[in-house]
Amino acid sequence: MTTPSVEPPQTSDRGAAIRKVVIVGGGTAGWMAAAALARHLASTDIAITVVESSEIGTVGVGEATIPTIRRFYAQLGLTDADVMSATQATCKLGIRFEGWGGPRSDFIHPFGLYGQDLNGVGFHHYWMRQAETGDATPLSAYSLGASLALANKFVEPSPNPPSSLSVFDWALHFDAALFAQRLRRYAEGSGVTRIDARIATVKLRAQDGFIDRLVLDNGREIEGDLFVDCSGFRGLLIGEALGTPYEDWGDWLACDAAYAVQTENTPGDAVAPYTRVTAHQAGWRWRIPLRHRTGNGLVFSSAHMSDDAAQAALMANLQGRPLSAPRRIDFRPGRRRQAWVKNCVALGLAAGFLEPLESTSIALIENGIERLKALFPDRDFAPAVLEEFNDQSAREMERTRDFIILHYWLNGRDEAFWRERRETAVPDTLRRKVDLWKARGAFVRYRWEMFHPASWLAIYDGLGLMPERVDPAVQGIDPVQLRQGLWGMRDAVADMVERTTSHDAFLARFGGVSDPKGISNAS
């Protein structure tokens, strides 16, 4: 175990520029940070070093992303084709929730809009008014993203959509290990140095408790000005060396463990362009399709389900032959009280963890990197810089947490775990949002929030929580005119889906299933 030690005072470098950035840990977070910082700081002489041990495995369960990942790698100059070919990726139009509202509940949370807003009134009010006339057309019929996903079809969005009916976005399912390898090649090609070693000791400066250098297990010492902790749940720097407290959110998010296993794909089966998350008696299962295999997992509350029962439930619902034995992953939902302490910034699991229900882990890394780039310090580490970074990080984590809690709070299941989730008091920030929605069908909007109104609408509708009344502005609309307008939107979406090719046909342009070893060594 790493033991921090204190170094004698040294001459202050107050106001001087950062010279050395040291990233502790590789994996997805470490290599994302290395690649992005190498690009961002390309015109400087700042040295970037990644210290990782090939003997230490990574968690690596998160293989589903949200659309922000495509903006992240585009900033590096990488294209969708580059990344999809390098990572055995498939397309993701959203997340399909099965069993959350009850045994027959089934809905999609798409990356896109629903219908068209008119006269400053949200589309959902027109849709609800039409439903009052007996029209049972589901909300998903007005979403191109949801409709494509349900039909197993895919097309890249138009760069200039003719109307909001054509607006949707997409993300990737990819092999996270291959993605990290691709970014490692990019980073090393941009001048980043990699050191393969374990860290034996973290040396702190006596005068201020800042990290001074790392002592490796081979005796080598690595000095740095700014340290980025990507060491995973352990929090080697931010937690063990600097003693930053961890804020536990287990009272709201009771799941604390998962089993994960990979399976062979079944030849001939269509590849779904969405992540599947299926509720079970004490949590939920995921299924994530890649081109060379499928990722599977079961998230559960250890207070409500034994390890044996969890493994059995996972293995009984697999499609395809397992490629390994399932492995257990323990976690604590929550966050570091501060993500930036002294000269150490934590990214990824070192900064906090939210279960992968909405594929937020990699997006939180992306946003942490963007904040670091925007607030990149000098060696004086101005308190205002750290305070702003920490405030933005905390607000984003809390608002993402609230969105995930919402899924549990609105559930319609009857097992003990699920009844407790409905009965547990939720954060005031979430209750405020839900109360406004119920009273007025309106959305509370915050800065530093990952999920926008269309996403909240998807969960509200999918789990059966709708406003008590529609907007007064739509009450007097002529029913015939309303029906014609909405059915015109519905039919336009259906026509676009009909004219779109399958997801499998889109993937064929990347050569179908390939040898992942060969892919990972591609340029």
CA dist., res. 31 & res. 37, Å (int): 10
Residue 379, number of CB atoms within 10 A of its CB: 16
Q: What is the homologous superfamily of the domain 5-9+16-88+175-249+333-388 according to CATH?
A: FAD/NAD(P)-binding domain (3.50.50.60)
Q: Does domain 92-173+398-504 have CATH number 3.40.50.1820?
A: no
Q: Exposed (0-12), middle (13-18) or buried (19+): which is 253, by Cβ within 10 Å?
A: buried
CA dist., res. 503 & res. 498, Å (int): 13
pLDDT at residue 198, rounded to an integer: 96
Q: Could you tell me if 49 and 252 are in contact, meaning their C-beta atoms sit under 8 angstroms apart?
A: no
DSSP string, 226-282: EEEE--GGG-IIIIIIT---EEE-TTT----EEEEEEEPPPTTPPPPSSEEEEEETT
Same fold, 5-9+16-88+175-249+333-388 and 92-173+398-504: yes
pLDDT at residue 60, rounded to an integer: 52
* Continuous segment of H or E residues that includes residue 108: strand 106-110
pLDDT at residue 243, rounded to an integer: 98
CA dist., res. 274 & res. 286, Å (int): 11
pLDDT at residue 6, rounded to an integer: 58
pLDDT under 70 in the chain at which residues? 1-15, 57-62, 511-523
> 48-83 b/e with 16+ CB inside 10 Å = b?
bbbbbeeeeebbbbbbbbbbbbbebbeebebebebb
For the chain, give every domain's residue range.
5-9+16-88+175-249+333-388, 92-173+398-504, 257-330
Tell me if residue 92 is catalytic. yes
Give the chain's mean pLDDT. Answer: 93
Q: 69-73: long-range contacts at Cβ-Cβ below 8 A with a sequence spacing of 24 or more?
A: 69/171, 69/172, 69/362, 69/363, 69/366, 70/170, 70/171, 70/172, 71/366, 72/32, 72/36, 72/366, 72/369
Q: Which one of 20, 92, 438, 517 is the catalytic residue?
A: 92
pLDDT at residue 511, rounded to an integer: 66
